[in-house]
């Protein structure tokens, strides 16, 4: 049987979702940036992608979601943030991390709905100093944001997961497995769910492996996986996702027909 091609996010926060999948003959696994995972799925170069949640709305044909496994937060996420030296009301431009898709949409939604600003958006590689030379603020995601010492850089860190939950009362869903209809069997769906179940029991092991060459980062990485990231699409996460999609559609960021489609 031809292996199912999986495109996974390479960041630390996604590792519990792929635990053991690299040893399964059923799947072929590759790692990329979130934005690249989306492009691979859109082009048909992978069968299932761990895609930024906003990209579910941007496929050329309807996508289906694997029920259960997600990358989400309820409160501070620590790895998705806007950095600035200015008061937010004075921000007129934001340099946006080019590895991001969902976080760009989230920052845009929060800027308009909560911060009451309409900044210009500038695509930029995730380098804080260079980004703040280009714009009044910078959006950075993933491992770079998690490890960035913003205090030493003299900037304010605005955690977008925290702002979202404080203002909506809901979790925020950053990514999930998705693909076209009939790509997965029920057994494949079960395997992806079981990988997640195994991974969330092994935060310490995953942190040690991921930062094998940096032992000083292993304890904070384990804490991050345990305390900041949530991995199940429950009822509240479902509501948070639909709310985000509705807000994004209102701003013209992506079309939303009100439906979430799931593999059986």
List the domain boundaries for the chain.
4-72+171-250, 80-168
pLDDT at 264: 85
pLDDT at 246: 98
* H/E stretch holding 72: strand 64-73
pLDDT at 189: 98
Q: Model's pTM, two decimal places? A: 0.96
In whole angstroms, how far apart are CA 11 and each of 15, 34, 112, 202? 7, 9, 28, 16
Q: Would you say the C-alpha torsion 224, 226, 230, 236 has a positive or negative sign?
A: negative
Do the first three CATH levels of 4-72+171-250 and 80-168 match, i.e. the same topology? yes
Percent helix, percent strand, percent coil in the chain, to nearest 5: 45, 25, 30
Grouping H, G, I as helix, E, B as strand and the rest as coil, residue 50 is: strand
Q: Count the residues in the chain.
A: 264
Residue pair 254/245 in contact (Cβ under 8 Å)? The answer is yes
| CA gap 75, 26 in Å, rounded | 35
Which two structure tokens, joined as six digits, stand for 149? 């010492």
Low-confidence ranges of the chain (pLDDT < 70): none
For 4-72+171-250, which CATH class? Answer: alpha beta
Considering the domain 80-168 in this protein, what is its CATH number? 3.40.190.10
- 169's CB contacts (< 8 A; 6+ apart) are none
Please state, as a whole number, how many other Cβ atoms lie within 10 Å of the Cβ of residue 8: 25
In whole angstroms, how far apart are CA 261 and each of 140, 177, 203? 30, 12, 30
pLDDT at 153: 87
Please state, as a whole number, how many other Cβ atoms lie within 10 Å of the Cβ of residue 119: 21
């Amino acid at each position: 049987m031809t292996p199912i091609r999986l495109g996974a996010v390479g960041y630390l926060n996604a590792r519990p979702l792929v635990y053991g999948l690299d040893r399964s003959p059923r799947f072929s696994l590759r790692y990329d940036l979130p934005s690249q995972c989306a492009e691979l799925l859109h082009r048909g170069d992978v069968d299932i992608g761990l895609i930024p949640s906003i990209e579910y709305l941007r496929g050329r044909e309807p996508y289906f979601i694997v029920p259960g496994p997600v990358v989400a937060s309820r409160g501070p996420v620590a790895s998705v943030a806007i950095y600035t030296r200015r008061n937010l009301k004075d921000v007129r431009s934001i340099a946006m991390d080019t590895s991001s898709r969902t976080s760009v949409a989230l920052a845009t939604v929060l800027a308009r709905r909560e911060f009451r600003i309409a900044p210009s958006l500038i695509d930029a590689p995730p380098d804080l100093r260079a980004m703040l030379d280009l714009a009044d603020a910078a959006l950075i995601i993933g491992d770079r944001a998690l490890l960035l010492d913003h205090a030493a850089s003299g900037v304010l860190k605005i955690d977008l997961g925290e702002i979202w939950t404080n203002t909506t009362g809901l979790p925020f869903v950053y990514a999930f497995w998705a693909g076209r209809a009939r790509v997965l069997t029920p057994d494949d769906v079960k395997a992806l769910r079981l990988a997640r179940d195994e991974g969330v029991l092994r935060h310490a092991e995953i942190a040690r492996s991921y930062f094998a060459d940096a032992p000083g980062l292993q304890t904070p990485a384990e804490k991050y996986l345990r305390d900041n990231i949530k991995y199940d699409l429950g009822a509240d996460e479902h509501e948070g996702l639909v709310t985000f999609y509705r807000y994004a559609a209102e701003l013209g960021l992506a079309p939303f027909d009100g439906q979430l489609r799931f593999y059986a």
